[in-house]
Amino acid sequence: MIGLMVAAALLLAAAVVAVDRYRTARIMARLDRMVTQAMDGDFTESDFDETRLSALETRMARYLAASALSARNLRQQKEQIAALISDISHQTKTPVANLRLYAQLLAEQPLSPQGRDCAAAIDAQSEKLETLIQALVKSSRLETGILTLHPVAGDLAPMVERAAAQYGPRAGEKGVTLTVAETAGDAVFDAKWTEEAVCNLLDNAVKYTPPGGTVTVSVRSYELFSAICVRDTGPGIPEAEQSKIFGRFYRCPGAWQTEGVGVGLYLTRQIAQGQGGYVKVDSTPGVGSAFFLYLPRNDRER
């Protein structure tokens, strides 16, 4: 009799465990389906009958529905920003180009020395405005993910040499020696955008280095990253300023005599980060600065 009761109890316990396991497996399967749908971006709460869900599943479904909604809102906002940016860049292009044209036509008229200075100032300010709009459009496109980088594995030398060649004449005019040292090295990088980042570094190096100074560009490969280094013998950057110079519109207090709008390094950092890299500065006031653009050497680092 006792044996029979023990057997019945064991049977009952086994049945309870089996039912519990079956229920847990169903909950796990439904949770798995919810998360998979959410990851694919097609989660809808109505796909799951709430009356048959456990409390945990209901909470998970609500959470995923809320995040799907905010992802949709974010997508819409991005699309609106994209449209706004493209409107701004399109609508300002012609007036700014016309401003420059009229300033140049004005400069060709018989003017007093003061009038000539004013015409030159209008042209310079319009050019600055043009640069600023272009830089802002680029940086917000990168920031909002409208513009994506397409890094591919390749040699850095051709891109670095192309960038340096663009600054040779400007350096020469200013009496700054621009040297291209060792450029052999490889990385996984977007050639067009990385060239723009290197150009920003070279532009600054040539711009801030006084006549008689030198700018050297080189490449060095490490185990995981390759670094493009632009070194100059310019005024250097005080330590307290070094973390600020990558901020949007930031210019060091001593930079006011030199033309600039303060977005070059900000854009350079965005370009580096957009492909899994980073930018570093090493500078000593009165001696010079070295900017390093690190780029991953293989896809795993990105």
Is the CB of residue 233 less than 8 Å from the CB of residue 214? Answer: yes
Place of tokens 């390759």: 226
CB of 228 to ligand ADP, least distance (A): 14
- Cβ-proximal residues to 39 (8 Å cutoff; 6+ apart), any chain: none
Number of Cβ within a 10 Å radius of residue 107:
16
Q: Which of 102, 246 has the CB closer to ligand ADP?
A: 246
CB of 207 to ligand ADP, least distance (A): 6
Q: Which of 237, 272 has the CB closer to ligand ADP?
A: 237
Binding interface with ligand ADP (CB under 6 A): 200, 204-205, 208, 232, 234-235, 237, 245, 250-252, 255, 260-266, 289
- The DSSP secondary structure of 131-163, one letter per residue, reads HHHHHHHHHHHHHTTSS----EEEESHHHHHHH
Which residues share a beta bridge with 295?
226
CB of 242 to ligand ADP, least distance (A): 9
Q: Which of 102, 250 has the CB closer to ligand ADP?
A: 250
Place of tokens 């060792």: 182
Q: Which of 119, 252 has the CB closer to ligand ADP?
A: 252
Q: Which of 200, 216 has the CB closer to ligand ADP?
A: 200
* Torsional class of 142: left (φ above 0), alpha (ψ -120 to 50), beta (otherwise): alpha
CB of 203 to ligand ADP, least distance (A): 7
CB of 240 to ligand ADP, least distance (A): 12
CB of 140 to ligand ADP, least distance (A): 16
Element (H, E) at 114: helix 113-143
113-143 vs 55-107: helix crossing angle, rounded to 10 = 160
Q: Which of 274, 296 has the CB closer to ligand ADP?
A: 274
Chain-centroid distance of CA 137 in Å reads 13
55-107 vs 2-39: helix crossing angle, rounded to 10 = 10
